[in-house]
Amino acid sequence: MRALQIRRNRFFKLFLLVAAILGILFIIYLHSPENVHNISTGSLYKRTTKQKVTFLEGKQLGNFEPEDFPHRSGPGEGGKPHHLSPNKQNEGAQSVGEYGINMVISDEIAMDRSIPDTRNGECKHWQYPEDLPKTSVVIVFHNEGFSTLMRTVHTVIDRSPPQFLEEVLLVDDFSDKAALKEPLEDYIKRWNDKVRLLRNTEREGLIRTRTRGAKEARGEVILFLDAHCEVNRNWLPPLLAPIYRDRTIMTVPVIDGIDHDTFEYRPVYGPGSNFRGIFEWGMLYKETELPPEMERVRPHRSAPYKSPTHAGGLFAINREYFLELGAYDPGLLVWGGENFELSFKIWQCGGSIEWVPCSRVGHVYRGFMPYNFGKLAEKKKGPLITINYKRVIEVWFDEKFKEYFYTREPLAKILRYGGYQWPIGIEEKIEL
C-alpha cells in the first residue's frame, strides 16, 4: 500500500510539473511579438483564421451592401446643387467670407441627405470579412460650421456597419465659435457614448491635434476625416479590409467633390478611372491616372491598388502601427507636408499605401482658408508650409534628392526647421 501511495504522489507531482511547464510555454507564446497585438484585440482565433475578401460573380450583392437610398425631395437631395432665395444671398455671401463655405446653404440641407452612388459598379459585389477591426473615426475641427461638422458625423454613423464603428472622436482645436461650445455638447448627447468630444486648451494645429486624437482613440484602427465630409454608401468595410489583411497598410478613400457654394455632390474623376497620389520635387502634391500596365494585370478595376502618397486629409491606419511610427512629426506646424512625411515614413519602414476605389467620401473644398495660424506662426521666420517641407526633405531624403527640392525652392535653404529626434525603435524599421 505504501509503495502504491508513493507512486501516486510521484505521478501527481509529475502531472503538476508538466502542467506548469505547459502554462509557462503558453504565456511565452501569447507574449511573443507576433501575438501581442492580437491579444489586445481579444481574439487569437481571429488572427489565425482570417477570412478573405472575395468578388461575387453574377448579380449577388456583397454582405455589407446596403439598400438603395430612398427617393427624397428637398434642398440638396440626391447631391443636387441648392440655391438661396434672393433675400438670403447677402447672408450666404457673408458666411462664405467667414467660413470659406456657404453655411446658409448648408443649414438648409438635411444632415442625412441622399447623395449619388459614385462607385464603380463592381463595388456592390465584394464580400468582406465579418470580423473586421473596430474603428475610431477622428475628426479635428477649428471654428468649423456647425451643420457641416454634424453632417459629417451623421453620415458616418448612418452609413457605417455599427459593429465596426467603435466611436466618432471629435477633437476641437481651440475653437471660439459659440455654436461649438454648449450647443455642440448638447447635440452629440443623442448618440450617447458613440460620439466623444475632446478640447485643446490652446491652439495646436491640425497635425498635433490629429496625433492627440490618435493617442486618445479606443479603436484598433483610426480613420481621419476632415470636418466637412459626407461619406458614401458602404464606405467603411473596403477601407478596413486591407488593414485586416496587413496592419502595415494605410488605406485612402477616393474623394468626391462637394461645391462650397451650392453643395452639389459630384465625382472628381471620370467614370471608371483610377488615380493615385504623387509629388513633384517642389513638394507639390499631384494625382495621376494609374498606368495602363498596372491596370492590365488587375482582375478587377475596383480592387485597391498601391500609391506613393496621398492628399493627407482622409485615410485609415492601424492605431498601434501609426504610433509605432511616431505618429506625425511633432515638429511639423499646423498643416502642410504631413501627408508626405507619413507617406515616406510608411514606405521606408516596410509598410505601404493603398487607394480604395470602393470607398467614396465627399469633401467640401473651401473657397479659401478662413482662419490664420495665430501664435503658432509667431516665432517662425518664413512660410510655415515651406519650413514643413524642408523638415520632411531633410529627414527622409538622400542628399542627391534634397538638391532637387532646393533647386525648385531655393528660399528653403536659409529657413530653419529645428532639430529632429527619431521615434524610439523606428530606425530599426527603416529599409535602406
User: What is the per-residue pLDDT across 370-382, written as a single tens digit (0 to 9) for each?
Assistant: 766 666 666 566 7
Q: Are 154 and 113 a contacting pair, CB within 8 Å? A: no
Residue 73 has pLDDT above 80, yes or no: yes
Q: Is residue 32 part of a domain?
A: no
Mean pLDDT computed over 427-432: 62
Residue range of the domain that includes 124: 96-365
What pLDDT score does 2 carry? 41
Which percentage of the chain shows pLDDT scores above 90? 74
Q: Is residue 395 part of a domain?
A: yes
Q: Is residue 77 part of a domain?
A: no
What is the per-residue DSSP string for 293-323?
HHHHT-S-TTS-EE-SB--SSSEEEEHHHHH
Same-domain pairing of 321 and 406: no
Residue 169 has pLDDT above 90, yes or no: yes
Same-domain pairing of 266 and 311: yes
Pairing of strands 249-259, 352-365: parallel
Query: Of 339, 365, 391, which residue sits at a domain end?
Result: 365
Q: Give me the CATH number covering residue 344.
A: 3.90.550.10
Same-domain pairing of 294 and 202: yes
Residues 3-13: tens digit of each pLDDT: 444 445 555 55
Q: Is residue 56 part of a domain?
A: no
Residue 170 has pLDDT above 50, yes or no: yes
Same-domain pairing of 410 and 349: no
Residue 41 has pLDDT above 70, yes or no: no
Residue 394 has pLDDT above 80, yes or no: yes
Nearest to 161 by CA among 239, 83, 257: 239
Query: Of 338, 365, 392, which residue sits at a domain end?
Result: 365
Same-domain pairing of 126 and 242: yes
Q: Is residue 142 part of a domain?
A: yes
Same-domain pairing of 391 and 315: no
Please report where in the chains the cell 450647443 appears, as a residue: 183
Residue 161 has pLDDT above 90, yes or no: yes
Q: Are 362 and 232 a contacting pair, CB within 8 Å? A: yes
Same-domain pairing of 281 and 314: yes
Residue 399 has pLDDT above 70, yes or no: yes
Q: Are 344 and 173 a contacting pair, CB within 8 Å? A: no
Same-domain pairing of 389 and 320: no
Same-domain pairing of 352 and 400: no
Which percentage of the chain shows pLDDT scores above 70? 84
Residues 318-347: tens digit of each pLDDT: 999 999 999 999 888 877 899 999 999 999
Question: How many domains does one find in the chain?
Answer: 2
Residues 252-300: tens digit of each pLDDT: 999 999 999 999 999 999 988 999 999 999 999 999 999 999 999 999 9
Q: Are 249 and 241 a contacting pair, CB within 8 Å? A: no
Same-domain pairing of 223 and 300: yes
Residues 50-59: tens digit of each pLDDT: 999 999 998 9
pLDDT band at 19 (very low <50, low <70, confident <90, very high): low
Q: Is residue 28 part of a domain?
A: no
Q: Is residue 360 part of a domain?
A: yes
CA separation (Å) from 10 to 2, 18, 206?
12, 12, 67
Same-domain pairing of 100 and 173: yes
pLDDT band at 360 (very low <50, low <70, confident <90, very high): very high
Residue 47 has pLDDT above 60, yes or no: no
Same-domain pairing of 319 and 243: yes
Q: Is residue 23 part of a domain?
A: no
